[in-house]
Amino acid sequence: MVELTFEGEVSALCEKQQDFIKNVLKELGIIGGKVKIEAVGKPGDNYIADVKRIIVEKNGELLKMIAKIAPNQEEVRQSMNTAVCFSNENIMYSEVLPKFTQLEKDANIPIEERLKYAKFYGSFMEEPLEIILIEDLSESDFVMLNRFNSLKDDSIKLVLKNFAKLHAASYALKNLEPETFECFSNKLLNLWELVGNTPERDQFVKELVTDVINLMDEEKYYKIVDQIMNNVMEESGSVSKADRGNSFYVIQQGDPWTNNILFKLEHDKSIDCCMIDYQISKESSPVADIMYLIFNCTNFDTCSKHFHDWINYYHSELEIYLNHYGLKIDSTYSSDQLEKDLRRYANFALGQSIMMASFLIRESKDAGTFNTKDDNKSMEEKIEIL
């Protein structure tokens, strides 16, 4: 039998990473043939990992999987907290998500109603050579939408329903196996807290503020942006420390922006979705996922039209999935508590969104055009939506 051989963008993989992939393929019954490596997406689509598609033939059919490969340059790894990100994602795919699936099975939740996530093929976690292999969801007709366009109402509601499934399973685990929940929570490191507590924080914020202000054309907003973005880094650490162990906290997805969510479309309408990135997952408030999604993935017109409906929809879906586990919404996460959390984290979420916008919307060739005149609404008006 001919040994497995690599072709295509082989330079992206070192010998140890190639050996790891070979072992994974052998476990799947593939011991010979060509393994093609090709790029996925375009510059600007991925920030913490180099993403490649692995294609190999199995029983006359092509097997495709996605490889998330860590950068090995020390300066890049430190600036992106690469080790933490890959550790978080590995924990989510190998431990947390399978545990949630088991809880869903035990609660007799129908398969079609369970939380969807890419199949996990394995990971190699030796620093700085980390690599994670997951299912290529494009084979199931999932696609990535254009990050420069606001997500529509149907797409947002699909993601909110996924949040409800994820958060309900988290509450169920906290209720049924509090020690396991605490173990997962302790393993998942808060990237925002780490960044907020570094000596380089002030310089980092200063550069981001300059970056964002240079993309704005109304001077009256400069001070607002400066204040919000300086506060967000201070709050990222203090909020986490003060609320650790908060009874309302869940294990969140953490980074639900457009490129981290794949959708299945039918006549240009989203009919299904799957979250694919868990590198910033941690224990936090449910609204952290909700507000991150809305602020980073929708424009003002869409948000102002649907915001309150989206919040009500999330809460009603959360109630449905909590009921599967025998949990009551009023004692688990009431509408009053949701409202309190929305108001409490509003400024932090807005600052986080401004910060993320400085690079999430960059063109492949250069910086994007974050500009308040896009929707002719002021910062004050954007805050008033809440």
Any domain includes 294? yes
The confidence score (pLDDT) of residue 46 equals: 59
Are the CB atoms for 367 and 215 separated by under 8 Å? yes
pLDDT in tens, 53-75: 999 988 788 999 999 999 999 98
Any domain includes 111? no
Residues 55 and 155 in one domain: no
Residues 52 and 197 in one domain: no
The confidence score (pLDDT) of residue 204 equals: 73
DSSP 8-state assignment for residue 378:
-
The confidence score (pLDDT) of residue 217 equals: 74
Residues 46 and 156 in one domain: no
Residues 61 and 146 in one domain: no
The confidence score (pLDDT) of residue 210 equals: 79
pLDDT in tens, 82-113: 999 999 999 999 999 999 999 999 999 999 99
Any domain includes 379? yes
Residues 290 and 186 in one domain: yes
Any domain includes 321? yes
Q: Tell me if the pTM is above 0.85.
A: yes
Residues 57 and 147 in one domain: no
The domain boundary, picked from 50, 69, 88, lies at 69
* Residues of the chain scoring pLDDT < 50: 241-242, 366-386
The confidence score (pLDDT) of residue 216 equals: 75
List the domain range (segments joined by +) for residue 242.
Answer: 141-384
Residues 271 and 356 in one domain: yes
pLDDT in tens, 238-253: 555 445 568 999 999 9
Residues 149 and 44 in one domain: no
Residues 6+ apart with CB under 8 A from 169: 100, 103, 104, 115, 321, 325
Q: Which helix (H) or strand (E) holds 341?
A: helix 335-344
Strands, sheet with 261-266, edge to edge from the N-terminal-most edge strand: 142-144, 261-266, 269-275
Longest C-alpha distance within the chain, in Å? 70
The confidence score (pLDDT) of residue 385 equals: 40
Degrees (nearest 5) of the Cα angle 246, 248, 249?
70
Residues 197 and 60 in one domain: no
* Gap between the Cα atoms of 217 and 139, Å rounded: 44
The confidence score (pLDDT) of residue 376 equals: 47
Q: What is the CATH number of the domain that holds 183?
A: 3.90.1200
Average pLDDT, rounded, for the chain: 87
Any domain includes 120? no
Residue 273 CA neighbour count, 13 Å, CB half: 26
Any domain includes 378? yes
The confidence score (pLDDT) of residue 244 equals: 59
Residues 44 and 177 in one domain: no
Count of structural domains, the chain: 2
The domain boundary, picked from 52, 69, 86, lies at 69
Any domain includes 130? no
Structural tokens at position 141: 């007709």
Any domain includes 107? no
The domain boundary, picked from 69, 84, 103, lies at 69
Residues 312 and 176 in one domain: yes
The confidence score (pLDDT) of residue 211 equals: 76
What end-to-end distance do the CA atoms of the chain give, in Å?
Answer: 63
